[in-house]
Each structure stands twice: as structure tokens, then as C-alpha cells.
Amino acid sequence: DTRWEFKIIRDPIHGYIGLTEEEVKVLDTQPMQRLRRIKQLANAHLVYPGAIHTRFDHSLGVLHVAHRLACQLAFDDDQKRLVRLAALVHDVGHAAFSHVGEKAVQYFTPNAPEDVHELVTREILLGHSDVQAVLGESAQKIADLLASAKASVEQAVVSGPLDADKLDYLLRDSYFAGVQY
């Protein structure tokens, strides 16, 4: 389906990943570009030297897997667009050292929620001017989809028991760590 392929990126896990013009603009924002410097597996590269892949790489993979799931579930184009964007930005709130960094925040801020990066993701989606300029009103829909207490099929694709996030990181992390999965 070429309507999702304004640009194409070659990924070592999924092969070719098609991106829309809007998704390319989201990727070009500062909050998404900073994910290129955040390792997916924090300091695991000290034991597994190949595990130097980033949250940026992972975000592209999650978008791809979410799209494949959305197609299998016969989502309409609006649902696909929203799910793809939510998948792309789902980790934009991660800080350095990923989940390890969240533990430090929780240690020094006892009232901080367990998944601090989810709150930061929401703040970036709703408050960062570059992201707002690209997503406009869709930013609120994406933030709501990522944090909704009300379950939906769209939410389950991005954040559920067997979601695109898990499907990508299981493949990606094992591949770059050099272990069979």
C-alpha cells in the first residue's frame, strides 16, 4: 500500500519501512531526534557489545509492526494514521539510560509514577512547539490513545498485552544482543 510510503527506511529487523510525509516531519522534530542518542537497552552494551541500538530505531520498528497489525485488523485509514503516529512517538519521553533512569527518578521523587516516561511523552506531545506544529489537534488524540484507561483495539495495538512495542523489542533486542529468540 504505497500511500504510507513517502520515504522508505531500511531496518535490519523488518526490512523496508515506509513513512508518510507527516511521519517524516515528526521524526525531524528535536524530541524524536534525541532518541537517536538513547540506547534501547541502557548499559547492556557493556556485556553485549552489539546492543547499541537506540530508541529511535525501536520507534521505527514499532510503527512498522503497528501498521501490519492495523492492516490485519482492517483499520480504516484514520485509525491506521493514528495508530502509526502513536507507535512512532510512544517512547519519546524516555530519558538517558531508559528504564534505569526512571528508577533513579523514582528513588529521588517517591511520588513519581512507575512509568515516568509516559507522563513525559504526554507533556512532549501536548507542549512541545515543534511536535504541535506537525501534529496539531492529532497530538491530543495520540496522547489519549497512549494513556487511555478505556481499552480499545487501537490502544491494544500500541500498548497492550501483545502489542507492537513488545513484538518489536523482543526481535530487536535479541538480534542486537546476539542471542537467539
Which amino acids are annotated catalytic?
117
Q: Name the DSSP class of 134.
A: H
- What are residue 10's DSSP bridge partners? 16
Q: Give the Cα separation of 34 and 28 in Å (integer).
A: 10
Query: Which helix or strand (DSSP H or E) is residue 107 part of?
Result: helix 98-108
Positive or negative, the CA dihedral 151, 156, 160, 161 is: positive
At 94, is the secondary structure helix, strand, or coil?
coil
40-47: long-range contacts at Cβ-Cβ below 8 A with a sequence spacing of 24 or more? 40/98, 40/169, 40/172, 40/173, 40/176, 41/98, 41/173, 41/176, 41/177, 42/97, 42/98, 42/99, 42/100, 42/101, 43/97, 43/100, 44/177
